[in-house]
Amino acid sequence: MPLKIVAGNWKMNLLFHEAEALIREVIEKSPDNENAPLNIFAVPFPYLNLAQNLTQGTKNFAAAAQNCSSFKSGAYTGEVSASMLASLNIKYCLVGHSERRTIFKENADELVAKMNLLLENHIIPIWCCGESLNERKQNKQFDVIQHQMNTEVFTLTQDLFEKVVIAYEPVWAIGTGLSATAEQAQEIHSFIRKSISKKYSDDTANKTSILYGGSCNVDNSKELFSLKDVDGGLIGGASLKSDSFVKIISTMYELL
Rg (CA), the chain: 17
We find the least distance from the C-beta atom of residue 85 to ligand PEP, in angstroms, to be 19
- 89 Cα distance to chain centroid: 18
The count of other CB atoms within 10 Å of the CB of residue 166 is: 25
Rounded CA-CA distance 199/63 in Å is 30
We find the least distance from the C-beta atom of residue 157 to ligand PEP, in angstroms, to be 27
Nearer to ligand PEP, 19 or 205 (CB): 19
We find the least distance from the C-beta atom of residue 195 to ligand PEP, in angstroms, to be 21
The count of other CB atoms within 10 Å of the CB of residue 92 is: 21
Tell me if residue 169 is catalytic. yes
Tell me if residue 131 is catalytic. no
Closest CA to 241 of 55, 52, 14, 56: 14
The count of other CB atoms within 10 Å of the CB of residue 41 is: 27
Contacts of 71 (CB under 8 A, 6+ apart): 79, 81, 113
Kindly name the residue from 97, 99, 110, 152 that is annotated as catalytic: 97
Nearer to ligand PEP, 169 or 231 (CB): 169
Nearer to ligand PEP, 168 or 200 (CB): 168
Rounded CA-CA distance 135/154 in Å is 21
Binding footprint of ligand PEP on the chain (CB under 6 A): 9, 169, 174-175, 213-216, 234-238
Which single residue brings its beta carbon nearest to ligand PEP?
236
Give the up-direction half-sphere exposure of residue 159: CA atoms within 13 A in the CB hemisphere: 4
We find the least distance from the C-beta atom of residue 34 to ligand PEP, in angstroms, to be 27
β-strand partners of 39? 6, 61
Kindly name the residue from 135, 152, 169, 189 that is annotated as catalytic: 169
We find the least distance from the C-beta atom of residue 38 to ligand PEP, in angstroms, to be 17
Rounded CA-CA distance 195/192 in Å is 5
Enumerate the active-site residues. 97, 169
